[in-house]
Amino acid sequence: MTITQLVSHEPATGKELWHGSVSDIDACARRARRAWPKWAAMPLTDRIEKLRRFANQVRDDAEKFARLIAKETGKPLWEARTEVDAVIGKVEISVTAYAERTGKKKLDSAAQGTAAVRHKPHGVMAVLGPYNFPAHLPNGHIVPALIAGNCVIFKPSEKTPAVGEFLVACYHKAGIPEDVVQLALGEVEEGKALVAHREVDGVLFTGSVQAGIAINRALAKNPGKIVALEMGGNNPLVMLHTPRMDDASALIVQSAFTTAGQRCTAARRLIVLESVFEPLMEVLLPTVRRLLVDEPFADPAPFMGPVIDNTSAQRLAESFLYLMTEGGKPLEHLRRPDESKPFLTPGVIDVTEMKSRPDVELFGPLLQVIRVPDFDAAIKEANNTRFGLSASLIGGDAQDYNRFWANTRAGIINWNRPTNGASSAAPFGGIGLSGNHRPAAYYAADYCAYPVASTEIDEPRATLGIGLSEAE
């Protein structure tokens, strides 16, 4: 059934927050194509200046923006404020990244002229954003794409259209033309139409592995369209011996339950040495039970809010039940206090004895614990996944970390730090089902422009020194 209207609800209250009309994808694409030559021809300094005005616009509207993010996602207000800060900070990071990753280079070669490398924008880029960071993550594609000279059509998640609309309005208020950055509203069908549209030169996607694979499959016969996929992970957190159990417990909680576990870098599997298991649980489980779960504006401030909707909450509850029936032993039950709202208490379950553990991304506050006899078994278990986004080691020494770093398959590998909270000043991406080797964040510049090699000289010079018959 074709829909014509979108409606967004607040997860914490169920109240309608926003409604609007589904976009005409073909019209969006045609407008972007017409606008692109002028935007691409604009001097780089002018494009950067407009993006800096955008950062100032977001700064001016920061509190209003944060409150909207908190309402539409359910995340605590304190966390929504950090997301707005990331949106602002992305501009200067992207300016630096563009100069470093895709700047102009020239090599003089005397009589042979000049060899040059410059970068050109692809054209019209489709950005498909997720609901967990509905401003920061798509903005991480949009800003570098605009700096490079591309036009952007941004389709936010159908679960967070209000935040998407607010973000695009900030670009327009900053003086970036409305056809250069457009909002495309819709659900799956509109996303498919945007990905496949003949006027779209690139697809920049952050979201589920199922959607990412569908995009990859749809464009498999079109190598001319650049595709960057960031698709989450089944991320391991390996726990060795450490005297700092309280700190280790805090790192585990941050990794597994920040944003109600709705981060692609969230720890899904805690892999712990048998000898460490009992003393760790004595500290970790009481900490988990103390976590406040409440609506975004509650006082005192909660650690986490609800998951995005009731469907997600029900699936997570069913997943916890499945793990139990297949041999998992609950250490802290995942509970749903109110069946009418998507609040979940954080769950911890020992799945060591399960014969077959599902290698899936359970996108919520559910941590699986796996006990292992030694470090070799821990590394083997960490790599026992088709994903490869983020991994962390807690405890051990520098030699242990070097070994962990060298042998763990992931695009982000940390030591005594959470699996999440990656820096925008570093590349962000993974391998396997986590991505297609096009990391975002600082390296987003790489997929927003393509290199052009040139040899140049101010007048033609050439001779034919071989293969000629004698002159008559």
Name the residues annotated as catalytic.
Answer: 230, 264
Q: Which of 309, 315, 305, 394 is nearest to 360 (CA)?
A: 315
Distances (CA, A) of 181 to 90, 152, 155: 17, 5, 11
Closest CA to 36 of 121, 104, 118: 121
The phi-psi region of residue 110 (left if phi > 0; otherwise alpha if psi is between -120 and 50; otherwise beta) is left
Distance CA 352, CA 279 (A): 17
Cα separation of 8 and 72, whole Å?
7
- In a 10 Å sphere around its CB, with 0-12 CB exposed, 13-18 middle and 19+ buried, how is residue 65 labelled? buried
> 235 near 282, Cβ under 8 Å?
no
Cβ–Cβ < 8 Å for 383, 405: no
- Write the CA distances from 426 to 104, 120, 143, 458, 472, integer angstroms: 21, 23, 16, 40, 65
φ, ψ for residue 134, nearest 5 deg: -70, -15
Which amino acid does the sequence have at 393? L
DSSP conformation letters of 233-250: --EEEEE---S-HHHHHH
Cα dist. 347→29, 211, 398 in Å? 44, 26, 32
Residue 108 CA to residue 457 CA, distance in Å, equals: 10
Nearest Cα residue to 422 out of 171, 219, 254? 254
Distance CA 390, CA 29 (A): 35
263 vs 255: CA distance, rounded Å? 9
